[in-house]
């Protein structure tokens, strides 16, 4: 697909592998093959094994639109050595995505890429710290050491932003900048035990750039502030 191919662009938050409600919403809204849906991380695929992954992607594929997945903290990266199914890397809308031959409508964004879609530019920075990491480790649930952006990814992001003149159109991230954290969502959590390095990195970016819109997921809220819009269950069109 080339720019201008999409009739509508939709955004939503974490789905965690449960796509029933999202599929129902897509039918009510009237998604078509001409549309694009962007999920802001924790999609819920690339999570455990191939059988579960096929089941999850089959459910997600019931949505007729193309789907761009931002990297969250509760999923493996397509480049992970633990993934035994094969992804192809391809150029898409001026950036790089990963795609699996059996599920060609499900695309995985590369952190630090800027995609030009319908004359808009979307800069992607995925990843976050899992605040439930201690529980996951204790119960032997999946946890992924590369859930947060690496130093290499951060350097790539900063270099791209500098080259672009510190001006961005739309930022898509999984978590939010440090100053925008919805602290009411951390009730019962000891902040001193949370690794906020990704939020601090996003704050560094926010302090350096001007931007038009910033969207994120991760915090399981639907909330709009002057600086950022958090998405969870809501599907919005932009």
Q: In the chain, what are the domain boundaries?
A: 9-237
Q: In what order do the strands lie in the sheet with 229-230?
A: 114-117, 120-125, 167-173, 210-216, 229-230, 223-224
Give, in degrees to the nearest 5, the angle at Cα 171 between 169 and 174.
Answer: 170
Confidence of residue 3 (pLDDT cuts 50, 70, 90): very low
In terms of Cβ atoms closer than 10 Å to its own Cβ (0-12, 13-18, 19+), residue 216 is buried
Secondary structure class of 11 (helix, strand, coil)? strand
| pLDDT value for 191 | 81
Phi, psi of 170 (to 5 degrees): -125, 130
Q: What is the pLDDT of residues 190-213, one digit of tens each?
A: 888 899 999 999 999 999 999 999
Using a cut of 0.75, tell me whether the model's pTM lies above it: yes
> How do residues 78-128 score in pLDDT, each as one tens digit?
999 888 788 999 999 999 999 999 999 999 999 999 999 999 999 999 999
What separation in angstroms does the CA of 140 have from each of 19, 144, 173, 181, 217?
24, 12, 27, 28, 25
Query: What is the per-residue DSSP string for 143-184?
Result: --TT-SPPHHHHHHHHHHHHHTTTEEEEEEESS--GGG--GG
Instruction: Using the predicted structure, report yes or no on whether residue 77 has a pLDDT greater than 70.
Output: yes
Please give the DSSP secondary-structure letter assigned to residue 31. -
CA 29 to chain centre: 22
Q: Are strands 167-173 and 36-39 parallel, antiparallel or unpaired?
A: unpaired
Output the pLDDT for position 39: 98
- CATH number for the domain running over 9-237: 3.60.21
3-class DSSP state of 190: coil
Residues 130-163: tens digit of each pLDDT:
999 988 899 988 899 999 999 999 999 999 999 9
Distance, C-alpha 174 to centroid of its chain: 5
Burial class (CB in 10 A: 0-12, 13-18, 19+), 128: buried
Give the model's confidence band at 73: pLDDT under 50 very low, under 70 low, under 90 confident, else very high.
very high
pLDDT attached to residue 171: 98
User: Which one-letter DSSP state was computed for residue 214?
Assistant: E
Residues 6+ apart with CB under 8 A from 18: 44
Q: Are 20 and 62 in contact (CB under 8 A)?
A: no
pLDDT for res 188: 77
> Residue 4 has what pLDDT?
52
CB under 8 Å, gap of 24 or more: what pairs does 98-101 form? Answer: 100/57
Of 60-64, 97-101, 139-143, 222-226, where does mean pLDDT reach its minimum?
139-143
232 exposure class (CB count in 10 Å sphere: 0-12, 13-18, 19+): middle
Q: Is the pLDDT of residue 50 over 90?
A: no
């Amino acid at each position: 697909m080339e720019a201008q191919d999409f009739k509508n662009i939709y955004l939503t938050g974490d789905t965690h592998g449960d796509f029933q409600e999202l599929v129902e919403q897509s039918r009510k809204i009237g998604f078509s093959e001409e549309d694009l849906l962007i999920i802001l991380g924790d999609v819920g695929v690339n999570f455990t094994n191939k059988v579960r992954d096929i089941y999850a992607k089959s459910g997600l594929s019931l949505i007729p639109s193309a789907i761009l997945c931002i990297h969250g903290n509760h999923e493996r990266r397509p480049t992970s050595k633990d993934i035994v199914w094969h992804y192809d890397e391809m150029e898409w809308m001026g950036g790089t995505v990963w795609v699996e031959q059996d599920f060609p409508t499900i695309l995985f964004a590369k952190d630090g890429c800027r995609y030009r879609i319908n004359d808009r530019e979307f800069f992607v920075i995925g990843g976050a710290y899992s605040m439930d990491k201690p529980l996951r480790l204790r119960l032997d649930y999946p946890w992924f050491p590369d859930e947060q952006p690496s130093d290499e990814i951060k350097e790539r992001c900063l270099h791209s932003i500098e080259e672009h003149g510190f001006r961005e159109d739309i930022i898509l991230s999984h978590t939010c900048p440090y100053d925008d954290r919805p602290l009411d969502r951390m009730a019962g959590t000891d902040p001193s035990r949370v690794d906020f390095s990704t939020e601090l990195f996003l704050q560094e970016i926010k302090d350096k750039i001007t931007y038009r819109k910033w969207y994120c997921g991760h915090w399981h809220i639907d909330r709009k502030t002057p600086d950022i819009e958090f998405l969870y269950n809501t599907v919005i069109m932009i």
